[in-house]
Amino acid sequence: MKYESQSIAKLYFIAAIGLFVGQILFGVILGLQYVIGDFLFPEIPFNVARMVHTNLLIVWLLFGFMGAAYFLVPEESERELYAPWLAKLMFWIFLVAGALTILGYLLVPYATLAEITMNDLLPTMGREFLEQPTITKIGIVVVLLAFIFNIGMTILTGRKTVITLVLLTGLVGLAVFFLFSFYNPHNLVLDKYFWWFVVHLWVEGVWELIMASLLAYVLIKVTGVDREVIEKWLYIIIAMALISGIIGTGHHFFWIGAPDYWQWLGSVFSALEPIPFFMMTLFAFNVVNKRRRDHPNKAATLWALGTAVMAFLGAGVWGFLHTLAPVNFYTHGTQITAAHGHMAFYGAYVMVVLTIISYSMPIMRGREAANARAQVVEMWSFWLMTVSMVFITLFLTGAGILQVYLQRYSEDPMSFMATQEKVEIFYWMREGAGLIFLIGLILYIISFFVKGEDVKMLGSSVSIEETS
C-alpha cells in the first residue's frame, strides 16, 4: 500500500461483506416464502423480507463502490486522500443510517414507518427499490456528496488518470440520478417514467462507468499491461454503454402508457446494450493473455475474468432475451425478469466489488496476495457462488417460461396463483441453489482467516507474451 489513507477502504469492505450476508439470508427467506407461503407470516411478510433483501444489496454495493474509490484514487492520484477524517465520519453515518432503516423495516409495519418518518411532508416511499424513508434518502445524498467531494478533491489536485476521471464521472452520475427518487408525482405514468431514471440509468448507465473503471484498474495491476492500451478499451466500452444505454431506457416504457415510438427506440437501442458487456469480456481476456507479469494474486484475476463473463451473460444475454417489445409483451414482470435481475446484478456489480476486494484486501493487510491456501478457499467460494447463481437463473428462467405459457400464451390462460402452483418445483430447486450460494458466501468469509505461507511476486517480468 503506497498511501496511508487507502486503508480506509478496509472499513467499507468489511461493512459491505457483512451486509451481503444479510442480503443473502433474506434471499433464502424469500425463496422459502415462495414455496411455503405462510413462512414467517405475519411477522415478516414477503414484502418486508424483499425490501430488506434488495435494499441491503444496493447499500452494500454502494459501500463497495466507495471502498473501491478510497483504495484506488489515492494510488492513482499519487497523493493521500483529501480528507481521511471525512471518509471515516461518513462511513459511520452511512452504516448507522442504513442499519436504522433496515431495523425500521423489520420492527414496525411499513405504514407506521412512513408515519413516524413523516413521509407526507415529502412523499418518496413505497416504490420498488426506493422504499427508504425520505430522511434516509436525504442521508444518502449527504453521504454521497461528502464522498464525491473528498474523492473529487483528491483526483483534481493530484495526478489525473483516465481511470479516475471515468470513475468520478460514474459516481457523480450516480448521485445526480438518485435525485429523481425525490420526484414522486401523483400521476402514475409520470411516476413510473421517472422512476426508471434512477433504476435503469444507474445499472445500465453510470454504474457501467464505475464497473469498467474498477475492472480496468485491477487489470492494470494484475497484468502489468500498458495503460495506453487499457485506456483505449475503457473509453470505447463506456462510449458504447452510454450510446446504447441512455435511449435503451425505452425498453421500460413499452407498457406503462408512454408513446408508441418507445417500442421501436427501446427495442433497437437496448438490443445494442450487450455490446459494451461483450467488449468487457474481450478486454479482460485480451489483457490477461497479454500480461507482462504473473501476479501472485490468482484469485483476483479469476474474479476479474469472472466478472466480465458473468456480466455479459446476466446483463447481455439474459437482458437481450426479453428486451425486444414483441417478446417483452409476454415476459414483462414475470420470473424471467427475476432471473435476469439476479444474474445481471451478481455478474456485474457484486462480482466487480468482490474483484476489487480480492485485489486490495491482502495489500491492506500488508502482503501482496493472500497465501496459497486462502486463495484456494477463495476460488472455491468463487465457483460455488457463481455456479449456484447460474442455476438460480436457469431455474427462474424455467419457471418464467412455463409461467408465460400457462398464464399468458396458451388458449385457456390460468390465473396467476394457479400458475404459481404449477411451477413450484422450479422454486424448490431455486431455493436449493440459493443454499449453495450461502455456503459459497460463508466459505468466502472463511477465506480471509485461512493461514499459510505468503506468496511472493515471481520475478516480475516473466515473459509470457509469446503465448498470446
Partner 1 sequence: MRETFTKGMARNIYYGGSVFFFLVFIGLTVDTVQTLPKTDNRENLTEEVVAGKRLWEHNNCIGCHTLLGEGAYFAPELGNVYTRFGESTEAIKGFIKSRPVDGIPGRRSMPQFNFTDQELEEIAQFLKYADGIKVARDWPPNIQG
Q: What residues make contact with ligand HEM under the rule CB under 6 A?
A: 24, 27-28, 30-31, 34, 50, 53-54, 57, 128, 203-204, 251-252, 270, 273-274, 311, 315-316, 319-320, 322-323, 328, 332-333, 337-338, 340-342, 344-346, 348, 350, 431, 434, 437-438
Tell me the closest approach of the beta carbon of residue 177 to Fe ion, in angstroms.
13
Tell me the closest approach of the beta carbon of residue 219 to ligand HEM, in angstroms.
18
- Classify each residue of 100-118 as buried b or exposed e, where b means 16 or more C-beta atoms within 10 Å of its C-beta: ebbebbeeeebeebbeebe
**Closer to partner 1 at the Cβ: 335 or 397?**
335
Cell of 242: 452510454
Which range in 65-73, 148-156, 193-201, 293-301 contacts Fe ion by CB under 5 A?
193-201
Tell me the closest approach of the beta carbon of residue 419 to ligand HEM, in angstroms.
13
Query: Residue 188: which of ligand HEM, partner 1, Fe ion, none does it interact with, CB under 5 to 8 A by kind?
Result: partner 1
Tell me the closest approach of the beta carbon of residue 209 to ligand HEM, in angstroms.
12
**Closer to partner 1 at the Cβ: 413 or 452?**
413
**Closer to Fe ion at the Cβ: 136 or 334?**
334
**Closer to partner 1 at the Cβ: 144 or 396?**
396
| In the complex, residue closest to ligand HEM by CB | 319
Interacting residues with partner 1 between 239 and 298 (CB under 8 A): 239, 242-243, 246-247, 249-250, 252-263, 265
Query: Residue 350: which of Fe ion, partner 1, ligand HEM, none does it interact with, CB under 5 to 8 A by kind?
Result: ligand HEM
Interacting residues with partner 1 between 303 and 362 (CB under 8 A): 329-330, 332-335, 337-338
Is residue 424 within the footprint of partner 1 (CB under 8 A)? no
Interacting residues with partner 1 between 141 and 200 (CB under 8 A): 184, 186-190, 192-193
Which residues have a Cβ under 8 Å from the Cβ of 310 and sit 6 or more positions away?
A: 343, 346, 347, 348, 351, 386, 389
Tell me the closest approach of the beta carbon of residue 455 to ligand HEM, in angstroms.
29
**Closer to partner 1 at the Cβ: 297 or 419?**
419
- 3-class secondary structure for the chain? CCCHHHHHHHHHHHHHHHHHHHHHHHHHHHHHHHHCCCCCCCCCCHHHHHHHHHHHHHHHHHHHHHHHHHHHHHHHHCCCCCCHHHHHHHHHHHHHHHHHHHHHHHHCCHHHHHHHCCHHHCCCCCCCCCCCCHHHHHHHHHHHHHHHHHHHHHHHCCCCCHHHHHHHHHHHHHHHHHHHHHCCCCCHHHHHHHHHHHHHHHHHHHHHHHHHHHHHHHHHHHHCCCHHHHHHHHHHHHHHHHHHHHHHHHHHCCCCCCCCHHHHHHHHHHHHCHHHHHHHHHHHHHHHHCCCCCCCCHHHHHHHHHHHHHHHHHHHHHHHHCCCHHHHHHHCCCHHHHHHHHHHHHHHHHHHHHHHHHHHHHHHCCCCCCCHHHHHHHHHHHHHHHHHHHHHHHHHHHHHHHHHHHHHHCCCCCCHHHHHHHCHHHHHHHHHHHHHHHHHHHHHHHHCCCCCCCCCCCCCCCCCHHHC
Tell me the closest approach of the beta carbon of residue 126 to partner 1, in angstroms.
3
Which range in 108-116, 117-125, 200-208, 413-421 contacts Fe ion by CB under 5 A?
200-208
Number of other CB atoms surrounding residue 430 within 10 Å: 25
Is residue 13 within the footprint of partner 1 (CB under 8 A)? no
If we measure between CA atoms, which residue out of 76, 53, 280 comes closest to residue 159?
76
Interacting residues with Fe ion between 204 and 223 (CB under 5 A): 204
Which residues have a Cβ under 8 Å from the Cβ of 306 and sit 6 or more positions away?
A: 351, 355, 382, 386
Is residue 137 within the footprint of Fe ion (CB under 5 A)? no
Tell me the closest approach of the beta carbon of residue 263 to ligand HEM, in angstroms.
12
Here's the x/- map for Fe ion, 231-260, by CB under 5 A: it reads as ------------------------------
Query: Residue 13: which of Fe ion, ligand HEM, partner 1, none does it interact with, CB under 5 to 8 A by kind?
Result: none
Tell me the closest approach of the beta carbon of residue 197 to ligand HEM, in angstroms.
13
**Closer to Fe ion at the Cβ: 25 or 271?**
271
Cell of 15: 461493512
Is residue 36 within the footprint of partner 1 (CB under 8 A)? yes
**Closer to partner 1 at the Cβ: 262 or 312?**
262
Is residue 200 within the footprint of Fe ion (CB under 5 A)? yes
**Closer to ligand HEM at the Cβ: 147 or 345?**
345
Question: Using an 8 Å Cβ cutoff, are 389 and 342 in contact?
Answer: yes
Tell me the closest approach of the beta carbon of residue 421 to partner 1, in angstroms.
9
Which positions touch Fe ion (CB under 5 A)? 200, 204
